[in-house]
Each structure stands twice: as structure tokens, then as C-alpha cells.
Structure 1
Amino acid sequence: MGANTALTPPELLHLSLHASANDQPDKALQHLKQLLDIEPENAKAIYMMGALHAEIGMYEQAIEELRQAEALDASMVTATFQLGLLLLTQGNIEEAAFTWEKLDTLGGDHALVLFKKGMLHLVKDEFDECISALDSGIAANDFNDDLNSDMQRVLNDARTARERTQGVENAPGDESQSSGHSLLLNAYGHEDTEH
């Protein structure tokens, strides 16, 4: 009797994580598609597909997949956060805020709740409140180092933007430089290629 050489869903999931960590999104997607042929409702695989599609700029596909993952497994709070973040970077601020309301059940001191508060303050150019919330979120986040790196990058840019707006508060034509939404797009929406 020959050995079974077919890869199992857990093996395919680990291979996709390995490929993603080694900057091979094409291989990661191939492994995930194989996995989903076997287990079409694997929420973690669908979430990872969404994250990879966001990474390569396929935002509509990513949003659809993150919604699907969240619907399949409501306990995947990171999927809920990433979905809201992706909606926010696409300019869908109200929809992002609505999506993020689900996170409030985690409690006000949870890192994801603090991060979402910080991001919502950012798009309103409320830099002090943004910085305070992101700082607290990074301190509270002991479960996702990559997310902390992303939030630290946004936090650094928010501090720079606050200094700029304080220095040239009434300078004409400077609104685009200090816009929280523009800052968000630059800091997160187009630099999330590491994960």
C-alpha cells in the first residue's frame, strides 16, 4: 500500500504561512487555494487569502474574503479589525466604524479596541487622541507583533503630522500634508507589504 502523498489542510496552512513570511505571496495563495478546495469554509484560510489579496493591492477581493472569514468565525477578532482597517484605507469611514463596533465587546483596554479608536481619531485629524490610543494599544498588544509594527509606523507618522500642524497651524495649502486620511493611506494602506 503506497504512502499518502497528498498535503493535509494543516500542512497547506503552514506552507502558506511560510511562503508569506518569505515574501512569496504567489506560493502562499496557491497553498491556500489548495486548502480551500479541501475545506471551502476554513475561516483561517479565507482570512489569510484576504490579507494576501490586500497585500498585493486586490482590495475589493480582500474585503469580500475578510467579510466571509468573519461571518464563518465571529471569534476571529483580528479579521474584524483588518476588515475595518481596509475599509478605512479605502475611504469607507462610516462602514469601518460600523464594522469595528463588534470589537467593543472585548473591553476598552483591549489592544484592537484601542487601535480602532486611534485610527478613527486619525482620520478626523485628532492627532493627540490618536497618539494616546495607539500608544496604549501597542502596550496592550501581546499577541500580534506584526500589527504592533504597523501601528508603530502609523503612530510615528501621526506624531510627525501633529508637529507639522502645530508648527504651521494657519499656513495656507498645508491641509493635505496634515490630513489624517492621507496619512493613513501613506502609513498603512500602501506599506503593508511585509506581512
Structure 2
Amino acid sequence: MQYLELFSTEELLALAALDLEKEQLDRGLAKLKYLTKQSVVSDELDSMLGSVYAKLRLFNLAADHYALLLERTPSRLHERFQLGMVYREMNELEKAAECWDVVLKEDGTYPPVLFHKALLHLTIEDVSESKTLLNKLVATADSDNYYVERARNVLEDINLSESEPKPSTTAEQVH
């Protein structure tokens, strides 16, 4: 990796971003780890490392890098959303919700957070809150937004499941 010394930090970050774009995670990660070993402190470095580690399902490492970035720059909403996604994957649902609440406090109509927080509420069987979030997403996001169609589909599924007859459990109806 001695050839990496030829490049500036900005060049290595740009080259790593291209590698990651092409799904060449090993090449991109090598450049990012080189920068880390050089004691580079950079929001973009930690953002990319968080993303790579999440793709590799190394969630503790992903969370560490997103947290480092957010300590320096708490206003980075996308990375806070991503940290929430990492926590969700780690089954730390309260931490995920906390991250997403911070994002929604800054931008109450952030589509990815509205959608994923709605799904989180479905997993804990809070259908009412889930519907509220999904309806807010559909009402506030552009109609061609990736999450709008997904939100409509989830709302349709919820409405279908609510309209299905409930199974009876009385002994009289069972026999």
C-alpha cells in the first residue's frame, strides 16, 4: 500500500468513494483504513467507514464511526438516520428511535426516517403511530419519492389486515 502515499487525503477519499460506488468494498476499505492509520480525522472518512461496515454487517464498527462523526458534527442528518438503521439491525430499537427522533426534530418530514420509524412501530404493534407516520410521509414527500410508493403499499397492507375478520376463539364457535 505504499503507493497510497502518493495521494492526498482528498484524493484518497474521492478514490475510495468511486470504489464504493462500484461495490469494490475491499479496495475502498483499504484506502479508508490507510487514512485512519495516518490519523486523518474527517467527517467523510467516518461516514464512508460507517457505510462500508454496515454493508459488511459489522454493525458495531459502523455505529462507532457514525457516532464519532456525529460527536464532531451533530447536524449531519443522513448519518444520524444511518446510525438509527445500524441500531435497528442490532435490534437496539430504542436507540434507533432516539436517532430518528433527533432527525425528525430538525426535519419533521425526512422521508427515510418517517418510513423506517413507521416500520419500527409496526414491529412493536403500534399500528396507529405507524399509520400516522406513513400518512405524513405520503402527504409531505414528492409523489416520485422512493419512500412514497413503499409507504402506500404498507398502508394498503395495514388496511387489508384491519379489514380481515378476526378468528373466533370461543369454544362454541370452534365446535
| TM-score range relative to shorter protein | 0.7 to 0.9
Q: Distance in 2 between matches of 1:128 and 1:101?
A: 17
- Amino acid across the alignment from 1:66: Y
1:19 deviation in Å? 0.9
Q: How many residues align?
A: 162
- State the TM-score, normalized to the length of structure 1: 0.66
What does residue range 5-154 of structure 1 map to in structure 2 within 5 Å?
6-111=6-111, 114-115=114-115, 117-125=117-125, 126=127, 127-136=130-139, 138-139=141-142, 149=146, 151=147
Q: TM-score, normalised on structure 2?
A: 0.72
Higher relative contact order (CA 8 A, sep 6+): 1
Q: Out of 149, 154, 161, which is 1:158 matched to?
A: 154
1:69 Cα deviation (Å)? Answer: 1.4
Distance of 1:21 and 1:156 partners within structure 2:
29
Give the unaligned 5+ runs of structure 1: 142-147, 173-195
Q: What amino acid sits opposite 2:17 in the alignment?
A: L
Specify every segment of 5 or more residues in structure 2 that has no aligned partner in the other structure, as ranges: 169-175
Divergent runs of 4+, >6 A: none
Mapped to 2, the partners of 1:17 and 1:60 lie a distance apart of: 21
Amino acid at match of 1:49: L
Q: Please tell me the root mean square deviation across aligned C-alpha atoms, in Å.
A: 3.2
Question: Once the two structures are aligned, what percentage of the paired residues are identical?
Answer: 20
